[in-house]
A and B are shown apart, each in its own frame.
Chain A
């Protein structure tokens, strides 16, 4: 074996060892969550083994029933779907307008949207609650969905505007010659090309909505309207926590979002790594 081969093997081993340690750091908490979900309240603090001696699969069933996950799960699916669709539609329309249209106060409006990202959510709780109450939207699904769309808009508009700014205008000109309207250009040309950026927006906002609880607690009173995170609260007392059931609940709550990530990871990586820049190759592929 020559020195180059040795160097290559050493380099590769070091790289793989580093990547493996990073992967382990990410995966270990998930493993620990599932492991703790399979223990009892008595053994969770005592048993330090990686795989518990007695596996309590019944914890998942108990957590589902006690946390009333059936209703909350459906609510979360509804909120996540509605909010993500809302954000994608509104932010892409807004971003496309900011990128392509000329209208008075365009920059001021854009900076206002961007500035909205700087306001921490708890800072806006009281005015938001008063506003929603005046609109009779407190304790309604619609009110919560509107608020959550509002939360996700700023970042999504910023991401998509950057994307549309870099997108060459030739395609739109060609479509315009074919008789496409402004709305048609957005729907038929801009949106399909923005798929990687939209994938990033979808996963970021799905995660955000799926894990959201504070705004839901503020705006919703009716238990039947609450999202999945409300179910997890059942296992956390002010002073005591039922760890196995909480971990089982967390596993149930995390599973769908993991699936969404796995399903969309190709687009997400593309969206993030390419900086969402359009290339001529893509245009060729599109036509």
Chain B
């Protein structure tokens, strides 16, 4: 569905000037729906009270979320995050499709982590341990 998604270059410049809240809202909503429908059945309690930020560099987008009382909630785009990830749309999709290993992207500098490395690694390992439902694999294929 998103096989060749390469956003136009101007977005990287324009994106950061746009409101960031919709990205955070969309990501939180997706995560919460996935959990409600038992598609993301995992123990996220290690994230309690922590703030994560996902930079999508070629869209100039950043989603910020906080895990509070067992739920993902959107957070302000300007607060300091405990850990942040940076990659392009293309590389995030490779990770979602599980066609690329995050360490490989890290070695190639296509995925960057800043902040609490252990928190980031824990999240990565947790996501690796979940088997993606078939509909999801189709969606990102």
B is bound to A:
no
